[in-house]
Amino acid sequence: MAEDKKKGTDYAAMERPIFQAWKDAGYFQRTPGFGEHADESYTIVIPPPNITGVLHMGHALNDTIQDACIRRARMRGFQTRWIIGTDHAGISTQTKVDKRLAEQGISRLEIGREAFVEECYKWREEYGTTIVNQIKGMGCSCDYDDEHFTLEPAYVRAVRKLFTDWYHEGIIYRGKRIVNWCPSCTTAIADDEAEYVDEPGHLWYLRYPLTEPVDGLEYLVVATTRPETMLGDTGVAVNPKDERFGHLVGKTVKLPLVDREIPIFADWHVDTEFGTGCVKVTPSHDPNDWAMGERAGLPRINIFDETAHVVEGYGKFSGMDRDEAREAVVAAFEELGLLDHVEDHDHSVMTCYRCHTKLEPWESEQWFVAVDALKEAAARVVEDGSIQFHPARWRQVYLDWLANLKDWCISRQLWWGHRIPMFYCDACGWEDASVDELEVCPQCGAPVRQDDDVLDTWFSSQLWPFATMGWTEEGMDAPEMRAAYPTQVLSTARDIMGLWVARMVMASMYCCDDTIPFEDVIIHPTVMAADGKPMSKSRGNGVDPLRLMEDYGADGMRYGLLMQVTGAQDMKFNEAKLESSRNFANKVKNASRFVLMNLDGYEPGAPEPVTPADRWIFSRLAKIVAAVDAAYDNFEFGEITRELYSFVWNEFCDWYIEFSKARLGEGADPADRVACQRNLVFVLGQILRLLHPIMPFITEEVYGELPRDADDAPMLIVAAWPDAAQLARFVDEDSERAIAMVCEVVGAVRSTRSRYGISPKVALPVAVKVADEGDAALLLAQAHLVAQLANVEELDVAVEASKPAESAVVLGSGLEVYVVLAGHVDFDAERARLAKERDALAKDAAKFEKKLSNPGFLAKAAPEIVEKDKAKLADLTDKLARIETQLSELG
């Protein structure tokens, strides 16, 4: 509300003490459980935010979803716990710390590994809790007293144990592989971490002389975007079905500059359309060439060192960096008359996501996880439905990802992270993995050294669901594991489906006796900017959740975000939804204030529907609870917010409270007054419970002000969730129909009054045409309500009712309402006024129509002008239609 804005409501001032009260009461730790689910646990592990992170819209949405699930489970009596913690985030933390040191003129290499890692821990102390505090600000009911960190001692042991087990079983192996190498960071970069950049380039056509001319042909021409890599060529490939070259397969070429004799061979992967159809093959510097080289048994020659300089043994090229080498190789070919020609060629190159240096496909020794041993079980538990995806279409995405999974390179050449627990003895050659630190060789007693590399951050993230539950010390016998594993819900973004979700399943199946890590996986939509593009700093289209909480309160932000969740995979952020959610929160508060102000003489007691209006609202409540439960069971969060919004606002606030006013006012029957008070308190209490998981603060605040029974929970956070089965006895179709008709008739009379400017003080006769005798009886029985709310002096209800003279008509669902205006409206004057207005509007509309059908105007005018005119025309047409209706109503 504009008013709120001006005053600048300090939402945090209301929210913080409530949060503290929940925390102090211990409700964030695993709850004791009550009712029918008392013995069941319900656990969620939060996707651990990076210690370098700050709350963004993705977190805001995801954390709201998880908090809604966990709060509802707590209210349903489950023993709930939402596990929180942070991820050490290897590469991005190292970058931040590097930068901080650089600002002080210190280099990482100067201070050495140990001191650097210490700096990283210091950095974490200072900044690593920022995001956890922001999550608290959202009201998330995580177990903050047992916060985890992927580099805490127990976690480190868990990671080492898994590494050691997999190593001993041959699932982890060391191998030479081609990896995406950053020559500047001197580390391997995961495929998923690389960024693609389009850049203009060239295609160089190089001549490779045949060792022996074939039918007069002296050389082949190969096309390449990276001529410098020819120093490492070990073959030339053609497609086996390419008739131009069939006769050359098996012959050799003499590689220029290095004078190496290399074979011509056939491989199905050669694209006959690319270049000349002959391709040079450099297995050590191109992943496709690597694969071709493997198939053809080619040697691999690595021509670059780890900083992408040409290694020794290449004459003048040795010591050049890759760009210098390119120029020199091209110049040498030109000199030898072997440069056929050059074409312009744009291509996309992989760059390092943290320093933006071009990545070098580079052969190096790395550690790998052989995923074939793990992926079958991970696929099975999704195929057989043990793990369910929401929306369901993600199931196939997961299975496809697993099917295409290749061995996972897990070593990173960084300092910050889980150091690979491999120990080597240089004296006798002994080596092994070990969970415990090793100082000396068990074989010869010489000092050992540990592997220098660290593990990919995802290697440790995959243990998150169980390494946070005591698995490290006691395995599956840990009390938490026994009581609460598998967890129930995992909610995450789609882009880490493979990187994280699938790996957790693989790790859990292996580490936890074939137990899945979670039962339901929610893949929430990605929050896009209002313009539909990804939010980004450079575009300036981002939205800060901290600002949103200031403007709309945590409740307004949470509700407004969930309102926008549909089954779609993207959600275009719409701030207006947060505004309407804030207004909704105010509406709830105002309704509560009304109830509280009308509790004079209140006596606690069981609610009991007495009037048809009571029976109606109780029936509607029963149905809403069932609908909300069903939507939660299907993880349809947008649906939950819409059901509740319309019930609370349109039915409870707009109608039930109004129906109640006469029963609470002066002269009301004291017994009925108490009944009405109890029913208001009851329905409002149920509404607060239903809203609480999404709007925790304002509902808790109001709950604290409402009268409570002795057996009611001390705080709403642990109050019992509405029981759909118990409420089902209140379902009453007749009362629902009767009150629905009352609302329609009252609405019709009110809208007619405002259209014709007739005061509510003037009583009007009304006739209603209904569909059948049943409806007629139901509505007539509520004539007093209609009279009370719409000031109707005569209510005529009949199946055969016809439109009285000089009356307005309003169509409702299954009924027509005629409001008699005779004596209150001068029909002749009104008709003349309307006709005049209609003619003026028609003239205007014709003008715009003509303009908009003129091709000349449409071609020349700016698009926004055309849009504006179209909008004006639509508005005029709409007004015209309304006037026509009024005119025909007047007869």
Per rule CB under 5 A, count of chain residues that contact Zn ion: 14
Q: Which of 424, 430, 594, 645 binds Zn ion (CB under 5 A)?
A: 430
Q: Which residue has the tokens 């177990």?
A: 143
Q: Which of 1, 115, 336, 355 binds Zn ion (CB under 5 A)?
A: 355
Q: How far is the CB of 353 from Zn ion (least distance, A)?
A: 8
Q: How far is the CB of 182 from Zn ion (least distance, A)?
A: 3
Torsion sign (Cα): 386, 387, 390, 395: negative
Task: Could you list the beta-strand ranges (E) of 596-750.
Answer: none
Element (H, E) at 208: strand 195-214
* Candidate segments 79-87, 149-157, 159-167, 352-360, binder of Zn ion by CB under 5 A: 352-360
Residue 405 amino acid letter = L
* Candidate segments 377-385, 445-453, 475-483, 515-523, binder of Zn ion by CB under 5 A: 445-453
d(CA 153, CA 835): 84
Residue 212 amino acid letter = E
Q: Judged by CB under 5 A, does residue 185 bind Zn ion? A: yes
**Residues 6+ away with beta carbon under 8 Å from 427:** 441, 444, 446
Q: Which residue has the tokens 């005798």?
A: 773
Q: Which of residues 854-873 bind Zn ion (CB under 5 A)?
A: none
ω before 609 within 30° of 0 (cis)?
A: no
* Candidate segments 49-57, 239-247, 344-352, 578-586, binder of Zn ion by CB under 5 A: 344-352
d(CA 797, CA 607): 32
Which residue's CB is nearer to Zn ion, number 224 or number 351? 351
* Residue 274 token pair: 């690319």
Q: Judged by CB under 5 A, does residue 441 bind Zn ion? A: yes
* Candidate segments 141-149, 179-187, 796-804, 842-850, binder of Zn ion by CB under 5 A: 179-187
Count of residues making up the chain: 891
d(CA 494, CA 70): 21
Which residue's CB is nearer to Zn ion, number 189 or number 521? 189
Q: Is 879 annotated as a binding residue?
A: no
Q: Judged by CB under 5 A, does residue 328 bind Zn ion? A: no
Helix axes 575-597, 696-705, angle to 10 degrees: 0
Longest dimension (CA), the chain: 117
Which residue's CB is nearer to Zn ion, number 97 or number 808? 97
Report how far Cα 745 is from the mean position of its chain's Cα atoms: 44
* Candidate segments 6-14, 378-386, 440-448, 500-508, binder of Zn ion by CB under 5 A: 440-448
Cα 223-224-226 angle, rounded to 5 deg: 160
Which residue's CB is nearer to Zn ion, number 38 or number 446? 446
d(CA 533, CA 826): 56
- The four Cα atoms 180, 184, 187, 193 give a dihedral, to 10 degrees, of -50
Q: Judged by CB under 5 A, does residue 444 bind Zn ion? A: yes
Cα 320-324-330 angle, rounded to 5 deg: 120
Q: How far is the CB of 221 from Zn ion (least distance, A)?
A: 35
Which residue's CB is nearer to Zn ion, number 428 or number 568? 428
Q: How far is the CB of 412 from Zn ion (least distance, A)?
A: 12
* Residue 819 token pair: 């409001």
Tell me, what DSSP letter sits at residue 606?
-
Q: Which of residues 572-631 bind Zn ion (CB under 5 A)?
A: none
Q: Which of 428, 440, 822, 832 binds Zn ion (CB under 5 A)?
A: 428
Q: Judged by CB under 5 A, does residue 414 bind Zn ion? A: no
Q: How far is the CB of 216 from Zn ion (least distance, A)?
A: 49
Which residue's CB is nearer to Zn ion, number 155 or number 181? 181
Q: Judged by CB under 5 A, does residue 182 bind Zn ion? A: yes
Q: Judged by CB under 5 A, does residue 425 bind Zn ion? A: yes
Q: What is the DSSP string of 441-499?
A: -TTT--B-EE-S-EE-HHHHHTTHHHHTTTHHHHGGGSHHHHHH-SEEEEEEEGGGIII
Residue 884 amino acid letter = E
Which residue's CB is nearer to Zn ion, number 25 or number 440? 440
Q: How far is the CB of 446 from Zn ion (least distance, A)?
A: 5
* Residue 711 token pair: 């057996």
Which residue's CB is nearer to Zn ion, number 414 or number 719? 414
Q: How far is the CB of 188 from Zn ion (least distance, A)?
A: 11
Q: Judged by CB under 5 A, does residue 184 bind Zn ion? A: yes
Q: Judged by CB under 5 A, does residue 443 bind Zn ion? A: yes
* Candidate segments 120-128, 420-428, 588-596, 663-671, binder of Zn ion by CB under 5 A: 420-428
Which residue's CB is nearer to Zn ion, number 409 or number 653? 409
* Candidate segments 183-191, 292-300, 562-570, 784-792, binder of Zn ion by CB under 5 A: 183-191
β-bridge partners, 348: 198
* Candidate segments 353-361, 538-546, 566-574, 778-786, binder of Zn ion by CB under 5 A: 353-361
Which residue's CB is nearer to Zn ion, number 360 or number 775? 360
- The four Cα atoms 420, 426, 427, 431 give a dihedral, to 10 degrees, of 40
Query: Do 324 and 310 form a contact (C-beta atoms < 8 A)?
Result: no
Tell me, what DSSP letter sits at residue 309?
B
Residue 61 φ/ψ region, left for φ over 0, alpha for ψ in the -120 to 50 degree band, beta for the rest: alpha
d(CA 619, CA 630): 17
Q: Judged by CB under 5 A, does residue 38 bind Zn ion? A: no
Which residue's CB is nearer to Zn ion, number 42 or number 116? 116
Q: Judged by CB under 5 A, does residue 352 bind Zn ion? A: yes
Tell me, what DSSP letter sits at residue 721?
P
Q: Which of 38, 102, 217, 427 binds Zn ion (CB under 5 A)?
A: 427
Q: How far is the CB of 432 from Zn ion (least distance, A)?
A: 11
* Candidate segments 92-100, 180-188, 247-255, 727-735, binder of Zn ion by CB under 5 A: 180-188
Which residue's CB is nearer to Zn ion, number 92 or number 134? 92
Binding residues for ATP: 537
Summarize as ranges the residues that interact with Zn ion (CB under 5 A). 182, 184-185, 352, 355, 357, 425, 427-428, 430, 441, 443-444, 446
Binding residues: 537
